[in-house]
Structure 1
Amino acid sequence: MGTTRKHWLIAFASASLLAGCAVGEMPPPGRYLTDRECHDLTALKTNATPTMAEHQSELAALRKAGYDPSPFWDDPYYPEDLQAAQRLVDYWYRIECAPTQTQ
Structure 2
Amino acid sequence: MKSLSRMSPTLTALALLLAGCAIGVSQSVQQSGPHLSPTECRDLAALRSNAPPTMAQHQSELAALRKAGYNPSPWYDDPYYPDDLQAAQRVVDYWFNTECHPSAPG
TM-score for both structures, normalised by structure 1: 0.65
Kindly indicate whether the alpha-carbon contact (under 8 Å) linking 1:65 and 1:88 is maintained by their aligned counterparts in 2.
Answer: yes
In the TM superposition, structure 1's runs of 4+ consecutive aligned residues that sit over 3 Å from their partners are none
Counterparts of 1:40 and 1:89 in 2: how far apart (Å)? 13
**Structure with max Cα Rg:** 2
For the aligned residue pairs, the C-alpha RMSD in angstroms reads 2.3
TM-score for both structures, normalised by structure 2: 0.63
Give % identity: 68
Partner of 2:100: 97
After superposition, the C-alpha distances for 1:42-88 in whole angstroms (9 at most, x for unaligned) are 00000010000000000000000000112574210000000000000
Aligned length: 74
Query: Structure 2: which 5+ runs fail to align?
Result: 1-29
Query: Structure 1: which 5+ runs fail to align?
Result: 1-26
Partner of 2:5: none
**Residue 87 (structure 1) aligned to one of 68, 79, 90:** 90
**Residue 72 (structure 2) aligned to one of 65, 69, 73:** 69
